[in-house]
Structure 1
Amino acid sequence: MRIMVQKQGATKCGLAEVLLLLAVLLIGRGTCTYHYGYNPCEEEEALSRGNPVIRSKQVCGRPTALNRNVGGEDSVAGEWPWQVSLMKMGKHVCGGALISNDWIVTAAHCFQQNSSPSQFNVLLGANKLENSWPHKLSIGVGEIFRNPRYAGEATSGDIALVRLAQPVRFTDYIIPICLPAANVHFPPGMKCWVTGWGDISEGQDLPAPKKLQKLQVPIIDTQTCRRLYSIDTGDNMPPKSIQDDMMCAGYAEGMRDTCKGDSGGPLMCRMNKVWLLAGIVSWGEGCAERNRPGVYIRLTSYQGWIRWHIPDMEFIQPSQGHIKVKNIGAGRTDGMGPTFFVTALLLAVWTLNRILA
């Protein structure tokens, strides 16, 4: 009888240990790790509620740094990790946004028609232009693609793609921004942000150490923007037209706006915890003038053109309160992720121990 009890005990302990080990392994697999702005916990949470979330192959639009000084103008390091400086012969000329590990998007007017890529380099991971910030990375330009529709100031097609000479490695300070699908709508009144190292007023440079500036601006509907630009046009100045591939953001009263040097920079809107590139700084009349809000190229108008040059580029669609993108992995049963199976397994272990006790 004593030997039989020992054997039963051995069997009980062995089975329980195996099940507990499996539980630990599954828990380890289900651990949520925050990595370059992506938190898989949010995905598991959505799955447990039955909402499908398909993971993107690239992490975008989720900075790890958060600036709690909402009303300030200075940005903190890592707050806008897709912001780049386009430099010509070592001097800042335009802003831009990183959209993958080897592409940036900026304004077409930042380049002459015959611009040579060898004249330019792209500065990434920078918050201040004039310092020895250890996270900064300067990379040469491989190719420049100006949109063929662009025909000069205030015309359509003021968008350009720049392929970096070599891919970059993502860090907490270098992350791409997400591109919205063509049917994503940014409604009037939506509060978005624009960033850049441009002049702080017309003709006045950003003072040293040239810290990245940010400004919150509301989206203005196209009809209202066209009406504003028709006010006080003057006798010698034909009114500039707001085209369908343009969008406006800013304030009718002026005072706050982008300026020279901000061109090509991102207009960013946050949807469902992800930052989307809504527009590209294009033009305006003066800086922060009354009835002259900033005009941006609408990124959703150029999905086809971008995909032509970058076939594997992803465009995301916020859906049902979560981000839904191209499916690149195996699916899982809705509502039955790792958490469900771990709970069931632990319950089985507890029940078995009670039976064999």
Structure 2
Amino acid sequence: MYSIVVIGVFLLNVFASAKDVTTPVPYHASVRTDEGHICSGAIISEKWIATVAHILTKQDKDANIQVVVGTNQLNGPGDSYSVSKIFYYPKYNSSFIVKFDMALLKLDKAIKFGSQVKAIDLPKSDTKEGANMVVTGFKTARDKFVTNNLQEKYVTSISNKKCKRYLGFINEFNLCSEDKSESVGDAEYFHGTGGPLVENNKLVGILSQFFGTLPALHNRVYKYKGWIKKTMSKNK
């Protein structure tokens, strides 16, 4: 009996680490083509979405890229907006995506904000080691347990020095996270990238890469803040 209980608690901890979101996440966006959801993103203003670059560069040049907001479900009701232009961080290189994997989407018209749809602020300061954060995203076909519902995961930031011992190739534009409820790294994660990483109601990261039981890799938004503001200001 004891062994069954122990096994049951272990499985509960593993499978509960990434769970369905039960309340609205007003800043979360689903980036899609006519084929469906391709990645997530974060609403940072009425006409701008922050997301990852590497997923967008995989799409056909004539792909119809849209953003859906105001829903916690992939097939649920939401508001759809067309993307008018994509801006990649200048140092982004598709042959080595993990270092500067940042992109901005400009929408063709302003998002209608309300209780279910809002922008999230950029960070005023850099994220420190040990910060408590939450990341949201959708699972994909690569996940063992596919669900239609938006997922959330509570994680802790780790230093780049520690993260580099695991991954080896990160730089100051990266932010790494781990789930302390797991034995190693982020064993039960969702594979969908672009998910907003939030600390104290500020957007501190964008999920870039997931490496199974190793720490997850995010774009450190604080380091991109100057480029984000400049790009938005020059392209109103």
* TM-score (structure 2 length as normaliser): 0.83
Corresponding residue SS for 1:279: strand
Listed one character per residue, the Cα deviations across residues 193-221 of structure 1 (whole Å, up to 9, x for unaligned) are: 00001238x443623xx111000000011
Q: 1:119: how far off?
A: 1.5
2:108 to 141, 160, 165: 165
Alpha-carbon distance change, 312 to 125 in structure 1, aligned in 2, over 3 angstroms: farther
Residues 1:266 and 2:196 aligned together: yes
Match of 1:177 in 2: 120
Corresponding residue SS for 1:81: coil
Q: 1:102: how far off?
A: 0.7
Separation of aligned partners in 2, 1:258 and 1:312:
37
Alpha-carbon distance change, 306 to 197 in structure 1, aligned in 2, over 3 angstroms: same
1:281 to 197, 207, 212: 207
The number of equivalent residue pairs is 216
Match of 2:87 in 1: 145
Match of 1:236 in 2: none
- Which structure's CA Rg is the greater one? 1
Aligned amino acid, residue 253 of structure 1:
V
Q: 1:157: how far off?
A: 1.5
**8 A Cα contact 1:117 1:141, kept in partner:** no
Corresponding residue SS for 1:129: coil
Listed one character per residue, the Cα deviations across residues 247-273 of structure 1 (whole Å, up to 9, x for unaligned) are: 101146135454432x11111011xxx
Higher-helix-fraction structure = 1
Structure 2 counterparts to residues 1-357 of structure 1, below 5 A: 73-78=19-24, 80-112=25-57, 116=61, 119-131=64-76, 133=77, 136-152=78-94, 153-181=96-124, 184-199=125-140, 202-204=142-144, 206-207=146-147, 210-229=148-167, 240-251=168-179, 253-261=184-192, 263-270=193-200, 275-285=201-211, 287=212, 289=213, 292-311=214-233
Which ranges of structure 2 fall in alignment gaps of 5 or more residues? Answer: 1-15
Alpha-carbon distance change, 180 to 312 in structure 1, aligned in 2, over 3 angstroms: farther
Q: Give the share of equivalent positions with the same residue, in percent.
A: 28
Q: 1:72: how far off?
A: 7.6
Separation of aligned partners in 1, 2:35 and 2:80:
10
Q: 1:96: how far off?
A: 0.2
Separation of aligned partners in 2, 1:147 and 1:115:
19
**8 A Cα contact 2:98 2:208, kept in partner:** no
Aligned-residue CA RMSD in angstroms?
A: 2.5
* TM-score (structure 1 length as normaliser): 0.56
Higher-strand-fraction structure = 2
Separation of aligned partners in 2, 1:114 and 1:95:
15
Aligned amino acid, residue 277 of structure 1:
L
Separation of aligned partners in 1, 2:71 and 2:34:
18
